[in-house]
Amino acid sequence: MMTSFFKAIEILFVDYLFMPFDVLRAMENWWAANALNWGFMLIGAAAMVYWMLELKKYNESGEENKDVSAHSYI
């Protein structure tokens, strides 16, 4: 019973869900094979730039209490 359940999970992932990664691994062109990674890196870089700009905006607005005793655990 449980063996067939885990075998079905294996078939689902290996034969269907990971198939695009097998195609990417078999490509001859390095840049095309790593396009997915470059896309994730660009998304991460854009998110970091956005977050830094938001932090700069709140830092310049002066809303944050920066006293030494601002937090009880300090």
Q: Once rounded to an integer, what is the mean pLDDT over residues 40-65?
A: 92
Q: What is the domain count for the chain?
A: 1
Whether residue 17 lies inside any domain: the answer is yes
Whether residue 10 lies inside any domain: the answer is yes
Confidence of residue 20 (pLDDT cuts 50, 70, 90): confident
Report pTM: 0.59
**Domain span including residue 57:** 2-61
CA distances to 12, 18, 44 from 41, rounded to whole Å, are 28, 21, 5
pLDDT of residue 70: 59
Determine the distance from the C-alpha atom of residue 35 to the mean position of all C-alpha atoms in its chain, rounded to a whole number.
15
d(CA 45, CA 52): 11
Confidence of residue 15 (pLDDT cuts 50, 70, 90): very high
Query: Is 36:21 a contact under the CB 8 Å cutoff?
Result: no
Whether residue 8 lies inside any domain: the answer is yes
